[in-house]
A = this chain, B = another copy of it.
């Protein structure tokens, strides 16, 4: 019967971990007028100049329908820009504005500090082990939709 306790099921453990970790980060984001999802989008754009919406959804882990609204509000805030591809007019690229890029140096130090503090609550070896095990749970990453996967096995 009690094959597992509900409160100790993997999903609940994952949710609980997020509930423990995220509030302090969200507090930082909010100081800069950002939501968590808006920050995730910017975080990606700080590493890649120009990202298609589809890839952006994969990298930010924001579902495409939600991403539309997140991008809308970031654009309204003047932090990003949309650009429609010429080669494939279905595709939309997202780029950070100067204002959006400037946010990088203001937000990241705060986030890094909070993250470092978080890491200090654990042994480095345990931290690495945790990420390994989470990788196992996530399984083989589904290949980005924008690459032709099928080429490999036919």
Contact = CB atoms under 8 A, between A and B. Distances in A.
Contacts of A12: 61
What interface size band does chain A fall in? 35 or more
B21 A10 contact: yes
Number of this chain's copies in the assembly equals 2
Contacts of A20: 137-139
A67 to B, nearest CB: 14
Interface of A: 3-4, 6-22, 25, 43-44, 47, 59, 61, 112, 115-116, 118, 121-122, 126, 129-131, 133-139
Given A6-B44, A11-B21, A130-B133, 16 more contacts: A6-B43, A6-B47, A8-B131, A10-B17, A10-B118, A11-B22, A12-B61, A15-B18, A16-B134, A19-B138, A121-B139, A122-B136, A129-B129, A130-B130, A130-B137, A133-B133
